[in-house]
Structure 1
């Protein structure tokens, strides 16, 4: 029976094989990033089955196709070497873009409290959430957590405050509540940046 180390080695070998059309330095960077992500995940979740960790990363063919598309080898519609086409339009946006949109939506609403400020802030938040969900830089669990913490929770809290009138009364409590929400958004963005895939 294969050990965890054998499964990881086989997985990384499969990615390397599928990504053989990548330049050697980019391929080695991809493999190093994947290996680091596996190590971090196993350290954070020592009870996790290695098969689940690898499944969360995704299929080696998909990872290779995405990496090929990002360097332009699959940009002209040519199929990736594995026979899997790179997902159209995915991975084109820098991972910082959705994080900035989600984080800056609240300050924008605070600075411009009258229309169109809140409307633009909501559009920033929704667009940031959509870009986060369609990005190839995070696995599904990370995307879900990010959207819940940076888009759903702040929206629900603000809507509850506004609809119930039970929000913090006075300038100082309201400012502290908004700062706490901003810390949550910035913390979520920092965490997502730290766990992103290259």
Structure 2
């Protein structure tokens, strides 16, 4: 890779050139994922040299070759280079699955408050969050927001209510609190469904 005033542009140009056999939409998605990864890494580690960030991503020719190989054989998964997702990963799990698991975790616990309801509710929430994080249907910011609103916040609220006297007391306030939490889960799922990549 030649050195210039803009190593990021050179890096992305090399990936684009080497991945020119990919369909245009998949190639642009790969470039967008790489650019997003670079921006996020630089924001998280502002003292890191840009060369170090690019080196962690891996050789641009290898990234392009991996994306081409995955697109050619229909394999799903990540490129394994800096955690950047190759375009062929989409479609492995239907986007509705993690959204339903996250949303239905609370009603399951409400309908079955005794064993095994809470256990299955927590299991739904954890599996839904993992499926959301590993899905190719959303970008990193959307995944993070979804996990925070649909998995972390409800878990923290329920744990706080159960471990302290600060939770809603009585059937009426507890039901209202659960309905507000359910509205948050459903709203987050609806938003994620709307912004998903086709």
User: TM-score interval w.r.t. the shorter chain?
Assistant: 0.5 to 0.7
> How far apart are the structure 1 equivalents of 2:29 and 2:186?
24
In structure 1, the gaps of 5 or more residues are 1-6, 38-50, 81-85
Q: Which residue of 2 aligns with 1:174?
A: 174
8 Å CA contact retained: 1:105, 1:122: yes
Cα distance change on mapping 1:183 and 1:76 into 2, 3 Å: closer
The match for 2:152 is: 152
Which consecutive unaligned segments of at least 5 residues does structure 2 have? 1-8, 40-56, 80-84
Following the alignment from structure 2 to structure 1, what is the Cα–Cα distance between the partners of residues 76 and 24?
Answer: 24
Q: What is the RMSD of the two structures over their aligned residues, measured on CA atoms?
A: 4.1
What is the Cα deviation at residue 75 of structure 1?
A: 3.4
- Distance in 1 of aligned mates of 2:66 and 2:29: 16
**Helix, strand or coil: the match of 1:167?**
coil
Q: Distance in 2 between matches of 1:63 and 1:95?
A: 26
Q: Provide the rounded CA distance (Å) in 1 between the counterparts of 2:143 and 2:170.
A: 35
Name the CA shift for 1:137/1:153 in 2 (closer, same or farther; >3 Å): same
The answer to whether the 8 Å contact 1:19/1:64 transfers is no
Who is 1:125 aligned against?
A: 125
Q: Which residue of 1 aligns with 2:161?
A: 161
Query: Corresponding residue for 1:136?
Result: 136
Kept in 1, the 8 Å contact 2:99–2:128? The answer is yes
